Amino acid sequence: MSADLIELMQNLGQPRVLVVGDLMLDRYVWGDAERISQEAPVILLRADRREERLGGASSVATMLRALGAKPAIAGVVGADADGTRIRQMLLDHNVCDEAVLAVSDRPSTVKERYIGRAQHRHPQQMIRVDYEDRKPLSAAAERELIQVIGRRMRDTDVVLISDYDKGVCSPSLLAAVIAAARACGVKTLADPLRGGDYRKYHGCSAITPNRLEAGLATGRVLNDSVVALAGAAELRERLDLEAAIVTLDKEGMALAHADGRREVFPTRPRQVYDITGAGDMVLAVLGMALAAGADYDAAIRLANIAGGLEVEKVGVAVVTRDEIVRDLLRGGEGGQGLEKVRVRESLVREVTTRQALGHRVAFTNGCFDVLHAGHVQYLQEARSQADFLVVGLNSDASVRALKGPTRPINSVESRALVLAALEVVNYLTVFDESTPLELVRELRPDVLVKGADYRREDVVGADFVESYGGRVYLAGLREGHSTTRLLQRLGAA
């Protein structure tokens, strides 16, 4: 888990995001793929559920809303029942639709997917049916859309262009959008269409093509990170971008920045159920992070997490801030070695975040100089009192002050590494003070754990923890286990 990404998530605020692009309605028909039809050699789907979701640029808007942004959307729908449904769903999701035009010369875009379950197990998409008209908007409709976008720009922190090649994102409209955004000092990010001519994105702050799209636009086969970075750099220079970001599915994202940075940001492996919507999620999170003042590096790392969560879901689905934070925290729990050791400031942020998500945090402290079975059993009991265990580890100087000049036997680095290898220990931090009182005050644990050889009134920090509703727990002692006795036995040997 990266503490800086947790902090970024906590400071995203509610940026005002204008999404420009192709609005769509996604319909899903779910059922069991039971057998082959007797009429033709095709799978027979026994449907049991229908579902409607917003797709295309409208899915970007709903993703933004689920992440806590204040999105508005600009585009067109048909003057039909599906267009009415799209607008109502936007309002239901608290997405401003003032810049959505209803036109009579084209239908609303609808994608209908049939999702089958084999023997009632994981669902898979079987076929998709599209209802659409991809011709460009009429000149009158485009002029009206440009005017309404211009009025919205004054109340916008970032502009996201979601181009699905359904006729809205023409070169003339995008030129007007990019110019208006630049005049207002607003960044513009575009998720481009598949094809070789990207001139209409010239002047954007950044674009986010996937591997195939960037390859078609540059005439390259982006089969490794070196070529991907070269392709990103070519697009950045050719289109006068601040950054070009090429998404590389399971390999992460490649960034080429105007300041000379070229870097591939890897992502961790995921169980991929459906890649639908992953590009939209990446665009949404990048836009929010940049609007919050993040650098491209942090924005890309955060978008990697969100895109990974999206592919673990079926269809175009939203991801919330809590889901991203929980995923970051889960990533940290599996850390090995000194990755679990945190500086105090980082640890305080993590504990605060976990408590906000309803997790109970236990804290204990000690020297843990020569780790033995009694220590392990003690830590297991401490961990059983909460969802998460933090250990405060006395520094070498602190141990000497408590135990004398011959201690510790093992350095703080060695002691931390051994503790971090225990599954029951989630995180630990080193403190120099003679007591952990200041650390307890900063962490505010839900449970303060010490050994049963202490009386409650002798536990440092007990009064403070109980003052805000926490509790003190005295863990049982295991006879025959102590560091002093172990050292005496080793000396005798």
Catalytic sites, residue numbers: 280
Collapsing DSSP states into helix, strand and coil, what is residue 96?
strand
Task: Tell me the sheet residues that pair with 20.
Answer: 74, 161
Q: Quote the CA–CA distance of 341 and 284 in Å, as a whole number.
A: 32
- Which pair of tokens denotes residue 21? 């692009």
Residues whose CB falls within 8 Å of the CB of residue 371, separated by 6 or more in sequence, listed in order: 415, 418, 419
The two beta strands, 262-265 and 471-475, are: unpaired
Q: Quote the CA–CA distance of 200 and 165 in Å, as a whole number.
A: 12
Nearest to 420 by CA among 429, 433, 407: 429
Residue 50 near residue 28, CB atoms below 8 Å: yes
Query: What contacts 24+ positions apart, CB below 8 Å, involve 177-184?
Result: 177/20, 177/146, 177/149, 178/202, 178/203, 178/204, 179/203, 180/149, 180/150, 180/153, 181/153, 181/156, 183/153, 184/153, 184/154, 184/156
Radius of gyration in angstroms for the set of CA atoms belonging to the chain, rounded to a whole number: 28
- Which pair of tokens denotes residue 303? 């978008």
Q: Quote the CA–CA distance of 389 and 385 in Å, as a whole number.
A: 9
